[in-house]
Amino acid sequence: MTPGNRRRPGVIAASALVGGLLALAAPTLAQTPSVSPSAQVPTAESVTVVAPRVVRREVAGGPTRFSGSPVEVLSASRTVSFGDLDLTTQAGADEFRQRIMYGALAACDEIEAEYPSNIYVPVSSSHNCPDATARAGLATAEEVIAATRSHAR
């Protein structure tokens, strides 16, 4: 499933304020697509978007179907490059934000594909993976954009 199949970027942008994880990484070359699989080496001109999910494996039978099921912490990540963008322009900054959102969606899609929520039930029913993942990524993107713009002056 491609990132565009689940949600449009505007929908994620409007609701991407819940929580998530993001780690700054070190430089890669611009890649197509801009969101690379987690096996790629992060660089100074990229950030790594990390999608977390805490789940329990569903066990068949009865009202205590989760008793004895261990809690599992899952994650998937995507390296999001911005080295090819001019973050001093509105268009460059907007593209960087869009890449963060697509990275969040791709990482969450990977977790769902490997650990379907009908078997690996999320512990928190209020957790929305793409929104939670994009939030921290967008916050870091804003810091990078601000730093780039202040350095360019």
How confident is the model over 52-106, as pLDDT tens digits? 989 888 766 544 455 567 888 999 999 999 999 999 999 999 999 999 999 999 9
Q: How far apart are CA 48 and CA 137, in angstroms?
A: 8
Smallest CA-to-CA distance from 50 within 38, 39, 36, 63 is with: 38
How confident is the model over 53-64, as pLDDT tens digits? 898 887 665 444
**What is the pTM assigned to this prediction?**
0.66
Number of domains composing the chain: 1
Joined together, the tokens standing for residue 102 give 């697509």
> Residue 42: helix, strand or coil by DSSP?
coil
- Domain housing 116: 3-152
